[in-house]
Amino acid sequence: MTFTRFLFNLSIAWEAIFANKIRAILTALGIIFGVAAVIAMLAVGNGAQQEILEQIKLVGVNNIVITPVIEKKQEGNQETSGSNSKKEKTHLSVGLTIADAQSILHHIPNIKSVSPEIVMETFIAKDGVQRQTKLVGVEPSYFTLLNYELSEGNMFNQKNLEYGDQVCIIGRGIQTRFFSKENPIGKYIKCGKHWLKIIGVLEQRGVTQTTATNLGIRNFDMDVYTPVKTLLLRYINRSLVTKAMIQRAINEANNGDGQPKNKTPTNYHQIDRLVVQIDQTELLGKTAEIIGRMLTRRHSNVLDYEITIPELLLKQQQRTKDIFNVVLGVIAGISLLVGGIGIMNIMLASVLERIKEIGLRISLGAKKSDIITQFLCEATLISVAGGLIGIFLGVFLAQSIKQVASIPTIVSGSSIFVSFFVAASVGIIFGIAPARRAAMQDPITSLRYE
C-alpha cells in the first residue's frame, strides 16, 4: 500500500468520525477516563514516594531514636489481705543520660555515631523583640545524622564542646526574624538568662506542621542549637539533685492526703532524645533489640524509655501506599480495557451499518487492505483523541487533588507516555476484529444489503 492510498483511507476514516461525532465522543469516553485515572493515580503514587523520601531525609538514614517516658507507672505485684494492701517494692531509674549514650557507643558493635539531644523551653531576645523558642543541646554528630547543612558560618569546634562555650547555631527562621538586615555571624543573642554568640546558620528545612506531627519532630528553622555541655553547665541538668528539688519533695511528703500537690509528672531524664546511627540497614531491628536490653539493665528494669526506628516505619508506610496505588492503577487499567471493548463494540456496529458503503468501495476497486486500514484508522483516531483529552484531564485531576485534598502529586513524563501508548494500542488491538470483519464482506451481497 502506497502512502497516498493510506492518506486516502485515513481521510475517509476522518470523515466517518465527523459524520457521527456524538457516537465517536461517547466511544472515546472510556479511553478518556481510563487515561485520566492512570495519570492521576500515578501522580498520587509519585507524590507519596517523594514525600516519604523527604521524610526519611528529615529523620536520617539507619537511625534508631530513643526517647524518655516521663510518666511511668511502676509495675509491682499487690498482696491484699482484708482492708490492707501491700505494694511490692519498686526499682529506681536515673533516666536517660549522657552515660547511656557513651555506653551504647563503646559497647555495641556496628554503631556509627550517637547523638544525645536536650531540649529546653526558653525565650530569645534582641533589640526589644522577644519570642518563645527551644534551646537544643547537641553535638556535631547531630547535624550529620539528620542531614543538616550550614548555609553560613562554622560548626562547633572541640573547644566549644569541651569547655561549654556560650556559642550557638540558629535556624533560618531565627535569622529571618531577628537578623533580616544584617549578617548574624559573630553577633550575640540573649537566650534565656545567657547571651550566646552566633557562629553558624542552618539551611532552611521547611517542615510542614503535618509532617512534624507525623514524625514527632519540631520546626527546626525556629530552634537555637548549643553544645550539650553548654546547656548542662549554664542552663539545666536534670540529673543533679538541687535544693529546689529537695524542698519540693519535702512539700509533697508533708501534704495532708499523702498526694503530691503538683500532679504534673516531673521529667527526671537528663537528655530528651538519643539518636543512634548504625552502619547497615538490615541490622536496625537487631541493634534496637540489643540497645533495649542494655538500657533495661542500666535503668534497673524500669522501662522509662521508648525505642523507635523511623526509617522502617516510613518504609512500611511507603509499602502500604504502594500496594494501594497498585490497586488503584489496576482499576484505572481496567477502565482502559473497558474503553477498548467499547471501541470494538461500536466499530462492529458501525460495520453492520455501513455494509453497503463497504460493498460500494470494494466494487470500485478498493482492496481488503484498504478496508482494514480505514476501520483501523477510525478506531485508532478515536483512541488517540481520547488519550490526548485524557492526558489533560489527568493532569487537571492531579492538580485538583493536590489543591483540594492537600495530597502531594507529581505528574511524570513516563506516566503520560505510558498511558498514551496504552490508549493508542488499545485502539489498534480492539479495532482489528471489526476491520477484518468489514474486509471479509462479499461485495455483491453488500450492495444488495438494505
Does residue 437 register a pLDDT over 80?
no
- Across the chain, mean pLDDT equals 77
At 243, list the grid cell: 535544693
* Residue 244: pLDDT band with limits 50, 70, 90: low
355 to each of 6, 36, 397, 421, how far by Cα in Å? Answer: 21, 35, 41, 31
Lowest mean pLDDT among 41-55, 204-218, 304-318: 204-218
3-state secondary structure of 167: strand
Choose the final residue of a domain: 303, 333, 362: 303
Residues 297 and 328 in one domain: no
Kindly report which listed range (52-61, 120-129, 153-162, 231-240) carries the lowest average pLDDT score: 52-61
The helix (run of H) or strand (run of E) holding residue 218 is none
Can you tell me whether residue 274 is helix, strand or coil? strand
Q: Based on the domain organization, do 44 and 122 belong to the same domain?
A: no
Please state, in angstroms and rounded to a whole number, the distance separating the CA atoms of residues 235 and 220: 20
Q: How far is CA 124 from CA 44, 127, 237, in A?
A: 41, 11, 20
Greater model confidence, 391 or 212:
391
Residue 70 falls within a domain, yes or no? no
Residue 66 domain-assigned?
A: no
User: Going by C-beta distance under 8 Å and a sequence separation of 6 or more, which residues neighbour residue 270?
Assistant: 94, 95, 96, 97, 98, 118, 232, 237, 238, 239
For residue 163, is pLDDT > 80? Answer: yes
Mean pLDDT of 218-225: 79
Cell matching residue 306: 521508648
Same domain, 7 and 138: no
Give mean pLDDT, residues 287-316: 81
Total Cβ atoms within 10 A of residue 334: 12
CB 232 within 8 A of CB 118: yes
Confidence bin at 179 (pLDDT 50/70/90): confident
Q: Which of 239-243, 290-294, 311-315 has the lowest mean pLDDT?
A: 311-315
Please report whether residue 212 resides in a domain: yes
End-of-domain residue from the set 303, 333, 365: 303
Whether 220 and 288 share a structural domain: yes
Q: Are residues 225 and 281 in the same domain?
A: yes
Residue range of the domain that includes 110? 91-254+265-303
Please check whether residue 225 lies inside any domain of the structure: yes
Are residue 122 and residue 215 in the same domain, yes or no?
yes
Nearest to 152 by CA among 175, 120, 129: 175
Residue 74 in any domain: the answer is: no
Residues 229-244, mean pLDDT to the nearest whole number = 81
Question: How many alpha carbons lie under 13 Å from residue 260 in its C-beta half-sphere?
Answer: 8
- Which residues make Cβ contacts (< 8 Å) with residue 407, sequence separation at least 6? 44, 47, 48, 401
Report how far residue 288's alpha carbon sits from residue 305's, in angstroms, rounded to the nearest whole number. 12
User: Does 224 reside within a domain?
Assistant: yes
Classify residue 216: in a domain, yes or no. yes
Grid cell at residue 127: 533589640
Is residue 259 predicted with pLDDT exceeding 60? no
Local confidence band at 227 (pLDDT 50, 70, 90 cut-offs): very high
Opening angle at CA 219, ends 217 and 225, nearest 5: 95
Structural domain count, the chain: 2
What confidence tens digit (pLDDT) does each residue in 74-109 have? Answer: 444 444 434 444 444 456 777 888 888 888 888 888
- Give pLDDT, residue 348: 76
Around Cβ 3, how many Cβ atoms within 10 Å? Answer: 7
| pLDDT at site 327 | 76
Q: Does 341 have pLDDT greater than 60?
A: yes
Task: Decide if pLDDT at 170 tops 80.
Answer: yes
Range ranked top by mean pLDDT from 281-285, 312-316, 367-371, 383-387: 383-387
As a whole number of Å, the CA-based R_g of the chain is 35
Bin 111: left if φ > 0, else alpha if -120 < ψ < 50, else beta.
beta
In a domain, 76, yes or no: no
Residue 325 and residue 275 share a domain = no
Read off the amino acid at residue 367. Answer: K
Domain match, 41 and 160 both: no
Q: Which residue has the higher pLDDT, 394 or 279?
A: 394
Confidence of residue 225 (pLDDT cuts 50, 70, 90): very high
Please give the Cα distance from 186 to 189 (Å, whole number). Answer: 10
Predicted confidence at residue 312, as pLDDT, reads: 65
Which grid coordinates are listed for 14? Answer: 476522518
Cα(128)–Cα(395) distance, rounded to whole angstroms? 50
Say if residue 42 is in the same domain as residue 111: no
| Signed CA dihedral, 239, 244, 246, 248: sign only | negative
Q: What is the pLDDT of residue 83?
A: 40
Residue 347 CB-half CA count within 13 A: 33
Q: How confident is the model at residue 403 (pLDDT cuts 50, 70, 90)?
A: confident
Indicate the range of 70-74, 218-222, 267-271 predicted with least confidence: 70-74
Shared-domain flag, residues 145 and 228: yes
| Torsion sign across C-alpha atoms 80, 84, 88, 94 | positive
Residue (of 182, 168, 203) closest to 127 by Cα position: 182
Angular region, 132: left φ>0, alpha ψ -120 to 50, beta rest? beta
215-229, 352-366, 390-404: lowest mean pLDDT where? 352-366
Gap between the Cα atoms of 299 and 162, Å rounded: 27
3-state secondary structure of 161: helix
Reported pTM: 0.59
Residue 215 has pLDDT above 60, yes or no: no
Residue 284 has pLDDT above 70, yes or no: yes
Rounded Cα distance between 174 and 220, Å, is 10
Do 326 and 444 belong together in one domain?
yes
| Cell reading at 244 | 529546689
Amino acid code (one letter) for 194? H
DSSP 8-state assignment for residue 308: E
Band (pLDDT 50/70/90 cuts) for residue 374 is: confident
For residues 245 and 372, state if they share a domain. Answer: no
CA pair distance 340, 431, nearest whole angstrom: 8
Model confidence at 274: pLDDT above 60: yes
Rounded percentage of the chain residues whose pLDDT exceeds 70: 76
